[in-house]
Structure 1
Amino acid sequence: MNLSLAGAVENLIRLYINGTKTDPDQVVDIDAAIGKNTFVSKDGFLMSIIKVNGRQSENNHYHSYNESLKPLISKISAGIKEGVHSIHATYVKEVGKEKELVAKSIAGAREKANNYQFEGMEDLFDDQVNFISKQIIDEEVYMAVWTNTSFLRPRQIAQEKDEIEEARKELPIADDAHGLIDTYTHIKIKHENYVEAVIDGLSASGVNAEVLNRDKSMLSMAQIIYPFLSADFEFIFPDRDTFPKSKEYAGGLEDDASHMLWDSLSSQLIREDDVDVDLTEGVARVGDRYFSTFEVKNPPRNLVLFNSLGDTIKADVPCMISFSVSSASSFTFFWKKLLSTLPIPASNKRIKKSIHAVSLLKELGEPDVEYKMSVTTWSKDSEDLLENRDYLKGELSSWGNSVVRNYRGCPFDALATSIQGINSRTFGSTVYAPLSGVVAQLPLGRRLRFWRRSALNFVGNGDVLYPYSVQSSEQKYWNIGVCATMGSGKSVLLQNIAFSHLFGDTIAGEMPMVGYIDNGFSAKTMVESLIAMAPKDKKHLFKHITYENNKKFAYNIFDTQLGCRSADSDQMNQIISTLVGIITPAGEEKVHGDAANLLRKVVAEAYFTLSDKEKPRNYREGRAPKLDSALKKIGYDPTGKTYWEIVDDLFDKKKLVMAEYAQRFAVPTIQDVIQQLTISDTVNNSYKGIVAYNNEELVPYVRRALMEAIEKYPVFSGVTVLDVSMARFIVLDLDKVAKSGNAEMDKDSSVFYSLARFIVSNNMFISSTLYEVVPDKYSSYHKRRVELVKSIPKLLVYDEYHRLKSPTVIAQIKREMREGRKWSLVNLFASQLLKDFDEDMQNLLSATFLMSNDAGSPEEIKKTFGLNKDTMDYVMSELTGPKGARGASMVALFKFKKATLIQRLRFVLYPYMYWMTTSDAIDNALKQNVMSKLSVGDAIKALSSTYGFGARKVYENIGETHPDPEVKKDPIQFMGDSLVNSFRTMIAS
């Protein structure tokens, strides 16, 4: 930036008239922190900074949005109108920290993966950071709330003035140190009350905000100039230790010891030797950054909201947009009013007219304010800075027909006074406007981000990072609903939620539990990838089972916890709901009301009959060859013993896995329940004469229905064969057994969903109710288990939830939804239509994701989510399925104890996760080929870096155009070999 001779002369003239302010102490008014979140200025004004986290429900329709801000306007108008308070809001968009944002969000998940020793997870998280960081911006919104001393009466001042003056005399001279003087009590009370009123007004208007503490407040001001400061940086205050410093320059009073005291706030915010200015270009250099600020001479004249500006600014252009709102009864206003009465040229009548217009607003009861806007941008390169400034001028001019102009004064002063909180002298050209019109233009409608850390990161509207966690102490329930028709990305979202849960927060390093009921092979690839990536000692924790209706997949729902002769009340509820579903006729919603009680009674009798108090089963060699061999191997002779005695003996020998296996032969099966129905006089007498269905009595009907179930559903018929007791992440694919189309198929689906739920959640529902049935021998063992399992986060996933029809099972699930937090349980449901979630269920959902606009009628969608017109327009235009690398658009409804949030989000898949979860046949074949030659981590890394979001197009192109007929016949082998060779060459180099 070279100065011409004319420019130098002009520079000197402006220096003479206006002067430059390159000393931070000249532009930083705040002098001391006098409380947790309050600062006092050199003039005795008080200031606090509020961080605006975002709006609960996005609304970009001007009139309805403006209407929603009435509570805020009501709360703040009187204070501003009286001239006691003012507000300085800033929107700050930084560039260069996007990777850091994503990395911080996933830091906890990355740590968990490292602790579990998964191979390839570093590459997965790195890929997420690199990919998502390119799609987001880093933005924050702040409000500095100022309170001046104009309201203080002489009597109030007199009460404390002498004390304050005396304190000043007693302190050493400290011009360059942190202020140590407090201020008047009345202004502190006034200020605290007003800050609270602003927070209350924002909350009532649907805006989430918080008052920052002194460190965060200082950081919000300093980070514009020094972006390298960490989020937990602590500034120097008088109640913190610091080292005395030597005097850096000569001069000043001999007894000035300020250099030995705590650094002044101004020197901590802006370092004096860092500042330089170029008045010709209107540029200030602070540290290694160049800054330029321009005025918005006339703010938007059209009815526009800030989002229409904030969402259009290019991601790579940093900026700070400042808004100042203060009383129109300021000195400048009265000076203009006075000027209009003087005999000066007639053109000045315009001033008189504008004053008259403001007076009319007063008569109408509309608060009138002084409104200023400025825009600052920065760069480490001066030429880039000027390009950014010109670009932003164009964007601001397009925003509601605003008028911008260069500032001809000191650019450093313009920068400092544009940062919220630094001083009460805000920068910009003053206009007078109604408060209601001004507030609508402030950046209060940005998107609220509730969570800050998660392995699952969405992108919010406006391209903000939106971490999502399935559990929050601020939510009454932990239940999630996903509603989307085919092809909307529903299954992939479920897998990503399950993945984030697996690496979520836990206690004592215990891996969370996931039970996943799938309908199709969509989750198979992810489980296979997790198995391949897991260390050898954890591979058994992951299971994917394609379920079939034969004895190889038998699962006895009457299995109990180790040593327990009967089921506890929690398990009994699951058993009964499953059995009721089995005996309910196809096409019917329910069976006789007494059926559940009958089953409960007969099941309890079956447990008692086979306990060691009655007629326990005796060991029989050859019944279970696996058990025979295991017992022989340890030298145990089971001759003449019952299975319960064997279980107890093995428990004493610490052979817990073997004891659990032996117990399978001790507990009842469904045949034992049927036999009990036949022989139990108590049951037969109690329910005699009760008609169940088609004039058949209840007991014979239940017996017949269970006998038919054994034939129709062999998986129920005997001892458990399917062993998932050690698994932590279980996916059960019901595609082969749960079809839909007619009443019989619907019933089959419901039965298998109920059984699958039983299987995947077997080790989840262990609570203190287990103590009801635990023998003394096992008491301490199960107490440890209950405490451990209680603390482990759990996730139950129901894909295609609409296939579950049994009212009894659904009622049991709703009970678990209400009581889920007791078990640290999250329930996740996915279905294709909104109507699949009834009203009771919707009330229990803490989060609902809508991914397609045809999941219900527009009226149904609007009513269910409580959407405004603007968001409904978004639903109809954007919720149409995945859009390549930009992901799938969706609307999310989050319910918290104190508020409900409606957010527009994008579910963005990054390449590494795509290759972990893809169900595409071509991609899976290629992945299997590459994984046979490389480690799983290297294989997915090579695939994701080369093929991004799939290899199908390359596969088809090779099949059509490759000159070698052998390659055309089998492109997968060729693609795999080429990829592996290229990857090995890259590694070697």
Structure 2
Amino acid sequence: MGFLDKGVTAIEDTLAYLARYWIGKDFAGYCELATAVGLTEEDIKRHPGLKDPYIVVDNKLALLTAFDVQGTYQILSDQDFGKMIDNLRVKMNGYMKRYGHSITFGFERDPDRSLDELMRLAEPQINAARRIGLKSEDIILDRVRRNAPLVAWEQNLMIVYTHMNVMSPEEMKRELKERSVDAQKHNLPRIEFGQNPASVIMAMKYRHDTMVDRVRHDFERSGSEGRPGIMLRPISAHEAIKRVRIMVNRERTSQKFRPVLPGDRFIPRGREDKHDHSDLSAPPVNYQVCTNDVTNHREIIKTDDLWHGNMSMELGPQEPQPFSSLFASIDREIPWRVRVDLNPGGLNEMRARQMMVAFVGMLPSNRQIRQSFIDLNERSKEDAICSMKFAVSTWSPSERETKRRMAALEKSIQSWGICQVTSVHGDPLAAWASTIPGFTTKNIANRMVPPLPDALYLLPLQRPATPWGDGGSLIVRTPDGKIYPIQLGSRLQDTWIELISAPPGSGKSVLMNSMNSATVHRAGNVRLPLMTIIDVGPSSSGLIQLIKDSLPEHRKSEAVYLRLQNSVDYATNPYDTQLGARSPTSRETEFLVDLMTLFCTDPGTKKAPAGCSQVNEMLLRIAYEDRATKNPHMYEPHIDRTVDDVLESSGLKEQYSEEWWSVAKWWEVTDMLFKAGYVREASLAQRQAVPVLQDFSAYLNDESIRDLFGDARVEGTNEPLLKYMYRCFSVATSNYALFAGRTRFELNSETRVISIDLNDVIGGKTPEGMLRTAAMYMFARQMAAKNYFLREEVVLPVIPEMYQDYHLKRVADVQDEQKTIAYDEVHNTGGQQAFVQTMIKDGREGRKWGIRIVNASQYLADYPEELLNAATAVYVMRGGNAADESILRTLYNVSEEAIRRLQREAVGPGPEGGNFLALFKTKVGFVVQLLTNTVGPIELWAFSTTQEDVALRNRLYKRIGPYEARKLLAEHFPLGTALETIEHMRTESSEKEDVSVVERLAGKLVEAYTRNIRKQRELAV
């Protein structure tokens, strides 16, 4: 008998081995994906923006739609996350208690794909640099290289299924019968080996669409205390299938792979068969996904270049913990994927076991099992009891490393609330397939029956969400390594007002330079963007130098760094109008009213007396009308030599008599020159025709103004308002040589990126000094960005007909571009109301003008509440400031957990970058995340403003060129500065040294560079 038992056992073991490792279907047979449902007219009506199908059909006729689960909109504590789970439980209970639908979650993290993902995001920026003509690819690639070791590619999918059993048996029979009748009626061809679009049951599609909409609504609105919940991004059928294929065959699948689905362009394949028309349809999806060789080596799966180890959960956690705990415990160097299947009716699937336990449950050893079923039945009255399966995979280029990673992964899962996992499965291919979301509905993992809240708690829902998952112009990361693109000036935001709170030493200059560089290299740019940077100090000079050095010689004027001086050499009349216009545009009028009101502002209250803005509106109207018609400025020779020379050389002077010239007006000369084609000279002549600041003191005596405001008084001092304004205008005329007279300085018309340094013209920290500073900020804004506000409907009403074609070309040149105005060190303005109003107007109307406003100050408290409320993006660079934290709580409803993390983690730049709290108001929801800006050594060297570093950089730029110089400096000084070396060389210098330390260091670096080039050439030979 013992011999017989041994024989039977041996045969069973042999059969099990053969079944496990030798006998089985091809891998494509494990994949259930078949085809996709084409877009219907109803789909287009509901979602006009849809271009691609979004529903995939499997070989069991189930429908599935994929979502990219970005994660939570905001930083949440465990308590806040618990409230979110409870809200989600209430919403999901209804459909998780009924059969017909199921949900699969698949989270994947792969540090080995980080470089590929960063390059995918950087590719549009590199293409933009090449289109613009900038030799700055090294800056973009440097950020990629620096961030690649610190991040990992992440994918978080949710697959919503609608199965055949969503219909009753009678309805199912009826639908299948009707489909068969329709096929015969329309003589549908046989398609045995291709995608058959007619296989879809449309009655299921309606139910599926309803389920998809409901799930998305429930997740998005699951937040507590008015906060948004979990961000979901719908994925097209093409994208979903591509992602499945990458999981199956990551070695040979391009990011640009696109499966062929119904409706796509398709070339017939194979041989013609009159009985089967498969050659006229695309191959089934499973054969488009599974194209590689897959073999199993015991429990390890071997694909082309990788070994995949797979595990499944045997026993669920005894003490459920959030997925974030598992995430934190897994080694950051290990690639891994987890798939969790949630199905309704967990207790029903355990009915046979319940019946068995009912018979044997009286035994002491089974009482706990019996009690568990009793408890679950009681719990099912409130919460759905789910059927849950949990499978995990990891991989590497070698079998040994894969086994090591499996062991490390198993330890992490075991410590996640005390779980048990196994790596032994009857069919290793089926085990691997069970880890791929969307690949198959089958899952070899052991069934668990948790209540819905416990199941939700284990899901990968708490990752930091970005609204720009497809890509953005600025690539940063989260502290735990998720790649985080930010689209500056995004279409997902109604306006573009960005506020930065950054005390000294918090990394503000680095972040602003990164943002400005990202704007320059924005995807789609074909030339340099229009950008004005208003700064106090040279922190943006590095960016300008980078752009200039990256441009060819004949285009270097497109980027300008200007250190402003309060002298007539830089004089620019803010009252200049568009060429030919006798009055300013409506937008220019608003600005001039704000500027003149700022002149009248009381430094103590930061406000102008009541009535000032109304008087200024009247003054502007009166002044321009007077200078255009009633008392125009008369032409005088010798005022502008250039105008005189053109009048003489062109013969225009001879066309009119001396008598005519004796009464000629500057406006007439302007029109004459423009008509003759002398546009530049016409603009010079017009400068003499418009009002200047000192004119407005006299216009205060105009009868219409005195009639309305002659009795007005300044509250508090009882001084006559007009007298007060006269005094303010007189003071401004004497104090501000920059804009008190006629224009002498102008920017090159080719300039597109300009940085204006106000360091030498701003006031001090007194109220009067801050008022002066605000005036300089407004002047700089008008000087550089005046033409950003050109639009056809704004310009044409004030332009004579002869000038319209000229201005229409100018409008077309700027109106379709996104412009940027960046104000740094705004705290120096002291929150003057007129300046704030200008920024708010620019920001709120920015979408119309295509203008993005960026403001940087030391603290959020430096900004007035109106500007804080209007902001659509806020960056807090350092924690610990009570006033900032109060604003974050009261105005932005930021969670306490976010503030705790800000205090703990945003403490200034470190070796791996600087952390900051980012807030984004978007159309999809309010996002609050802690992010990290990590820049590479080349970028640090390019933007450096330290005197010694700049001197060293400039010497190398001249000797070996900017591109090679930045590379050389980054190799020798990866921290972005040579100060330590320079200081050491200074202390070691002897009295005989007659060359500066910087010059000697530059010489040594050039020698090293030359030697390296020589060696490379010798090796090449």
Asked if TM exceeds 0.5, the reply is yes
1:269 to 289, 292, 303: 289
SS at match of 1:325: strand
SS at match of 1:284: strand
- 2:729 aligned partner, one-letter code: L
Whole-Å Cα distance in 2 between the matches of residues 128 and 16 of structure 1?
52
- 2:984 aligned partner, one-letter code: I
Q: Show the counterpart of 1:108.
A: 124
Structure 2: runs of 5+ lacking an equivalent: 1-8, 39-52, 223-228, 1017-1021
Offset from partner CA, 1:342-375 (integer Å, 9 cap, x none)? 5698745554333223212224x12212222121
Rate the CA distance shift 1:377–1:160 in 2: closer, same or farther, 3 A. Answer: same
Q: Show the counterpart of 1:306.
A: 323
The CA deviation at 1:40 is: 3.6
The CA deviation at 1:135 is: 2.1
Rate the CA distance shift 1:817–1:838 in 2: closer, same or farther, 3 A. Answer: same
Offset from partner CA, 1:944-976 (integer Å, 9 cap, x none)? 232123334542563266476666983311221
Whole-Å Cα distance in 1 between the matches of residues 442 and 993 of structure 2?
74
- 1:656 aligned partner, one-letter code: V
**1:177-256 correspondence to structure 2 within 5 Å:** 177-179=194-196, 182-205=199-222, 206-227=229-250, 228-240=252-264, 241-245=266-270
The CA deviation at 1:564 is: 1.2
- 1:676 aligned partner, one-letter code: Y
Is 1:834 matched with 2:860? yes
1:833–1:856 contact (8 Å) kept in structure 2: no
**1:708-787 correspondence to structure 2 within 5 Å:** 708-724=731-747, 726=749, 727-767=751-791, 768-787=793-812
Whole-Å Cα distance in 1 between the matches of residues 997 and 923 of structure 2?
55
**1:553-952 correspondence to structure 2 within 5 Å:** 553-611=570-628, 613-629=629-645, 637=653, 640=661, 641-678=664-701, 680-692=702-714, 694-724=717-747, 726=749, 727-767=751-791, 768-804=793-829, 805-857=831-883, 858-884=885-911, 886-952=912-978
Offset from partner CA, 1:474-521 (integer Å, 9 cap, x none)? 2121110111111111122223222222333568x4532112110112
Is 1:33 matched with 2:36? yes
TM-score normalised by L of structure 2: 0.89
2:941–2:977 contact (8 Å) kept in structure 1: no
SS at match of 1:586: coil
The CA deviation at 1:171 is: 7.2
- 1:766 aligned partner, one-letter code: L
Whole-Å Cα distance in 2 between the matches of residues 21 and 868 of structure 1?
53
Moved more, 437-446 or 312-321: 312-321
Rate the CA distance shift 1:550–1:277 in 2: closer, same or farther, 3 A. Answer: same
Is 1:278 matched with 2:281? no
The CA deviation at 1:295 is: 1.6
Q: Show the counterpart of 2:27.
A: 24
Is 1:495 matched with 2:544? no
Whole-Å Cα distance in 1 between the matches of residues 882 and 357 of structure 2?
63
Whole-Å Cα distance in 2 between the matches of residues 42 and 751 of structure 1?
71
The CA deviation at 1:570 is: 1.4
2:146 to 131, 146, 149: 131
Is 1:360 matched with 2:378? yes
The CA deviation at 1:825 is: 0.9
Rate the CA distance shift 1:503–1:659 in 2: closer, same or farther, 3 A. Answer: farther
**1:88-107 correspondence to structure 2 within 5 Å:** 88-107=104-123
2:175–2:201 contact (8 Å) kept in structure 1: yes
Offset from partner CA, 1:706-753 (integer Å, 9 cap, x none)? 222222222232111221262322222112222332222122222222
- 1:770 aligned partner, one-letter code: V
SS at match of 1:423: coil
1:293–1:376 contact (8 Å) kept in structure 2: yes
Is 1:67 matched with 2:83? yes
2:103–2:161 contact (8 Å) kept in structure 1: yes
Offset from partner CA, 1:684-703 (integer Å, 9 cap, x none)? 44432333374432333322
Whole-Å Cα distance in 2 between the matches of residues 223 and 216 of structure 1?
11
Q: Show the counterpart of 2:544.
A: 527
The CA deviation at 1:900 is: 0.7
Whole-Å Cα distance in 2 between the matches of residues 559 and 831 of structure 1?
31
2:471 to 446, 450, 453: 453
Q: Show the counterpart of 1:471.
A: 489
SS at match of 1:82: coil
The CA deviation at 1:562 is: 0.7
The CA deviation at 1:330 is: 6.4
2:339–2:436 contact (8 Å) kept in structure 1: yes
- 1:501 aligned partner, one-letter code: T
2:557–2:748 contact (8 Å) kept in structure 1: no
**1:267-416 correspondence to structure 2 within 5 Å:** 267-271=287-291, 274-279=293-298, 282-329=299-346, 332-341=349-358, 347-363=365-381, 365-416=382-433
- 1:806 aligned partner, one-letter code: Q
Structure 1: runs of 5+ lacking an equivalent: 1-6, 248-252
SS at match of 2:743: coil
Q: Show the counterpart of 2:94.
A: 78
Moved more, 196-205 or 886-895: 196-205
- 2:325 aligned partner, one-letter code: S
1:55 to 72, 80, 91: 72
Q: CA RMSD in A?
A: 3.0
SS at match of 2:102: strand
- 1:736 aligned partner, one-letter code: D
Whole-Å Cα distance in 2 between the matches of residues 165 and 829 of structure 1?
66
Offset from partner CA, 1:894-947 (integer Å, 9 cap, x none)? 101341111111112222221222222221121122223232222222222321
Rate the CA distance shift 1:588–1:168 in 2: closer, same or farther, 3 A. Answer: closer
Moved more, 873-882 or 691-700: 691-700
Offset from partner CA, 1:350-409 (integer Å, 9 cap, x none)? 54333223212224x122122221210122322222222122122222323332222232
Whole-Å Cα distance in 1 between the matches of residues 212 and 511 of structure 2?
41
2:532 to 503, 507, 515: 515
1:517–1:732 contact (8 Å) kept in structure 2: yes
1:796–1:827 contact (8 Å) kept in structure 2: yes
TM-score normalised by L of structure 1: 0.92
- 1:731 aligned partner, one-letter code: S
Offset from partner CA, 1:774-806 (integer Å, 9 cap, x none)? 112112222232233221211111112233343
The CA deviation at 1:308 is: 2.6
- 2:520 aligned partner, one-letter code: L
Moved more, 261-270 or 755-764: 261-270
Q: Show the counterpart of 2:178.
A: 163
- Residue-pair matches, total: 968
Whole-Å Cα distance in 1 between the matches of residues 832 and 422 of structure 2?
69
1:284–1:411 contact (8 Å) kept in structure 2: yes
SS at match of 2:539: coil
The CA deviation at 1:128 is: 2.2
Whole-Å Cα distance in 2 between the matches of residues 777 and 472 of structure 1?
38
Whole-Å Cα distance in 1 between the matches of residues 989 and 537 of structure 2?
37
Whole-Å Cα distance in 2 between the matches of residues 90 and 358 of structure 1?
27
1:66–1:436 contact (8 Å) kept in structure 2: no
Identical pairs, percent: 21
Whole-Å Cα distance in 2 between the matches of residues 188 and 750 of structure 1?
61
